[in-house]
Amino acid sequence: MTGFLVWFTGLPGAGKTTLSQLLAGELTQQFMRTEVLDGDVIRDRLSKGLGFGRRDRDENIRRIAFVAELLTRHDIHVIVAAVSPYRAVRNEVRSAHPGRFIEVFVDCPKDVLIARDPKGLYRKALAGEIQQFTGVSDPYEPPLNPEIHVHTDEQSPAATVQSIVEWLSRNGFLNGVAAALDGRS
Ligand SMILES: Nc1ncnc2c1ncn2[C@@H]1O[C@H](COP(=O)(O)OP(=O)(O)O)[C@@H](O)[C@H]1O
Ligand SMILES: [Mg+2]
């Protein structure tokens, strides 16, 4: 069997990294082999030197997708947390993983993101100290038809992940081992 690919897309600070870590914890508890590919880590390693123009952003996504493909081929479930602002390249990845690509739109209003600003990046971007910052000075194309759409201004991280786990379960992506073991199923 081939692994699935959960792809978190959304503006900086929306909650992609937080949710990917929590989801990985949940899947691991269910004895599912899981790997997280986080955009920030990838940019520091595999995509070091790439910029933030469209061409480099798309290249970054294609590199992540390539690694994801290698892993899912070996029955490892992959969770990607990356802004991935352009719809076309996200759809390209979707086409490469038919029936196994689960796009999660991590949605949050911009005023909440600016108030949250855990890394102080919005403040810098709004002050013009960072260029090409998604949502401020660079485009973000929201998914038109994501498998899952979460609103992180309305729910806690734990509740949000629970709704994602429930979606995966309803759609037959979970093996149910942990649920069967502790009688939750
Ligand atoms: N429902 C939620 N899901 C995810 N993060 C949330 C949620 N509600 C509040 N947060 C907070 O929002 C911030 C999201 O930051 P992070 O996960 O680094 O975002 P991203 O990876 O999308 O840039 C964290 O401080 C997190 O605690
Ligand atoms: Mg992040």
Alpha helices by DSSP H, listed for 75-171, are: 87-96, 110-116, 121-126, 157-170
CA distance 133 to 77: 30
Residue-wise pLDDT for 17-50, tens only, equals 999 999 999 999 999 999 999 999 999 999 999 9
Bridge partners of residue 150, in order along the sequence: 106
> Does 91 have pLDDT greater than 50?
yes
Q: Which mutation among 9, 11, 17, 18 tests ligand 1's pocket best, with the greatest number of atoms within 8 A of CB?
A: 18
Residue-wise pLDDT for 107-135, tens only, equals 999 999 999 999 999 999 999 999 999 99
Please tell me the distance between residue 107's alpha carbon and the centre of ligand 1 in angstroms. 10
Please tell me the distance between residue 37's alpha carbon and the centre of ligand 2 in angstroms. 10
Mean pLDDT across the stretch 87-113?
Answer: 98
Evaluate: CB of 17 within 6 angstroms of ligand 1: yes
Atom in ligand 1 nearest the alpha carbon of residue 14: 22
CA distance 81 to 117: 17
Q: Residue 185's pLDDT is what?
A: 45
Residue-wise pLDDT for 64-85, tens only, equals 999 999 999 999 999 999 999 9
